[in-house]
Amino acid sequence: MKLSRKDATPLFLSLAIGLAFIAPAADAGQRERAAKPVRPAHAVTVQRKVDRQRDNGTQSVDISGTTADGRTWERHIDTTKTDTGFTRTMEGTTPDGKTFSRNVTATRDAEAGTWSKDVTGTTPSGKTFSTTVDGQRTETGYTSTATHTGPDGGTLTRNVVATRNADGSISKEVTHTGTPPQNGDAPAE
């Protein structure tokens, strides 16, 4: 028996639909196993405890946890509101027992139209980093400069000139300059 294309199309279509319903049942076990993510033991937090205390412009937060393999980690954060901004200190310990820190001081002078933010810290490997941001309101928008020095000595400076347009939208001119890290880990050119 010879089938014409017109007669064969419904036959092939019904065959394809039938296979589509049979195929998922055959590999359902494989798909179910593949859907479960594999996570390393150090990435799973079994316990996490957060304690917050607020008192007249200050806040303390203690966060601690235990990894699936029984190692503990902790972080303590103090934030204090000041007359012109805030300060925040953070200290922590990794599951490997290494310590790290981050300190932030932010200020704002509404009358002068200026703001600044200074960030310093130490990584768990003992290297230091810093970021400084200074901003100034202008008649048509604002300008800001941010400079970051990474733990390996590389620097990045970001300058922004923002202008409010007549239609209310804001245009920004952003420039970046930087130097590579000084530990020899910079990518080859």
The predicted-structure confidence for 92-105, as pLDDT tens digits, reads as follows 999 999 999 999 99
Each domain of the chain, given as residue ranges in start order, spans 98-179
Q: Outline where DSSP puts E strands in the chain.
A: 45-55, 58-67, 72-81, 85-93, 99-109, 114-122, 128-137, 141-149, 155-164, 170-179
Residue 30, SS3? Answer: helix
Over range 56-77, report the average pLDDT.
88
Distance CA 159, CA 103 (A): 23
Task: Tell me what pLDDT residue 35 has.
Answer: 39
Mean pLDDT of 67-80: 90
pTM value is: 0.67
pLDDT in tens, 2-56: 545 555 455 444 544 444 444 444 444 433 333 344 444 455 544 556 667 777 8
Confidence of residue 88 (pLDDT cuts 50, 70, 90): very high
